Amino acid sequence: MKLIQGTQCTPPGKIPSQLEFDARNRPTNESRPNRKAHALLTMFTGGRMVSDKFSREEVFPMPQRLRSLVCGCFRPHASFSVLSGVLVAALFLFAASFSAQQREPLHLNPAIEKLAHGQPMIGGQTDDMSLQNCRALARFDFDYEYVDMEHGPLNFDALAYCIAATVDKAAALKKGNAQPKVALFARFPPYGRDLQANDWIVKQALDMGLMGIIFNGVDNKEQMTQLVRYMRYPQAENSKFPQPPGLRGYSPANAAFVWGVSPAEYLQHADVWPLNPEGDLLAIAMIETAEGLKNANEIASVPGVGAIFIGVGGDLHQYLGVAQDSPALEAARQTILAACRAHNVPCGITTANQAETEKRLKEGWRMIRTGRE
């Protein structure tokens, strides 16, 4: 079909003055019969009344090829059927041109976004909660970063400032959505067996806006189940995922601000993945003792466990009574990995270099910590 070349559209790169614009686009008796086409254009542009101002690039910016296609046939005497056909074709071209840019992420948590698409999450560790470091780590080429307070001071004031410093408005504008570049997690002093201490620490940490917590020394299924409950809000009566029931107190204002969403939206996302496929919180268990190793399979089976992480195996080799480079420690790693794979739970390990990272990824590890920052 040969398009009728119109005269109402502005050439590329030229924006007319308001007087020129009004004179060129003033409705005439000839143009009024095409009100159906005008209505189509209004629908096509999402409700913006642009039928007589269609040539102004700032009213409805679009690729030049698409703009030429639509403008080329928009004349007073062009038939409605021709206009309809071209506008439908243009609509599909527009959708194809912008679908990739406009696609919203499945998850606000970029680490979960990777895991949900079958990709590993790569990250690091820091104990520096200074403003400068936290601003920098928000732009690292990582999927996650965790603040380590297991062996350092438990400093919630510093953690709150660090979390606030990772809010990167420039990155959000560039990305077009609220998903941060790097998900921030933290690890705290209590072990899995210290359930009372974990209760209030989890509440404080999540209310600050963390997207995940790494729990030290989880020894059995009962401990992990309780830790998951601390991370979950009590579920609504019509919840698709009522078990295990949540125990977290409701005060989402600070976390919602950090995540860039409303409190209602935060409530929708603030659940553990993959138990809730739309959840954006990760409950990560560390297996570090002989008891935990023995119970690795049942720990991995807990609904709501997001990953199992063993780090370098520093505590684990101590509990096993063997050297860091012992074959027994490597066998323990493989036992934990097998449990993770049996239950489709991401398994995490620390690697020293690129070669080791590639080796562990090939083995099936899906959470890599590249070392201390």
pLDDT at 82 over 60: no
Whether 230 and 124 share a structural domain: yes
d(CA 370, CA 182): 14
Q: Give the pLDDT score at 196.
A: 86
Polymer length in residues for the chain: 373
Tell me the CA end-to-end span of the chain in Å, nearest whole number: 62
Whether 165 and 73 share a structural domain: no
- Of 77, 102, 127, which marks where a domain is finished? 102
Range of the domain at 28: 18-102
Q: What is the DSSP letter of 92?
A: H
d(CA 329, CA 214): 21
How many separate domains does the chain show?
Answer: 2
Whether 28 and 95 share a structural domain: yes
Query: Is the Cβ–Cβ distance between 106 and 180 less than 8 Å?
Result: no
The count of other CB atoms within 10 Å of the CB of residue 232 is 27
Model pTM score: 0.73
SS3 146: strand
- Of 102, 125, 153, which marks where a domain is finished? 102
Q: Give the pLDDT score at 168.
A: 93
d(CA 55, CA 313): 65
Token pair 């919602």 is found at: 256
9 domain-assigned: no
Over the stretch 125-164, which tens digit does the pLDDT of each residue have? 999 999 999 999 999 999 999 999 999 899 999 999 999 9
d(CA 139, CA 112): 17
- Of 102, 128, 148, which marks where a domain is finished? 102
Over the stretch 245-270, which tens digit does the pLDDT of each residue have? 999 999 999 999 999 999 999 999 99
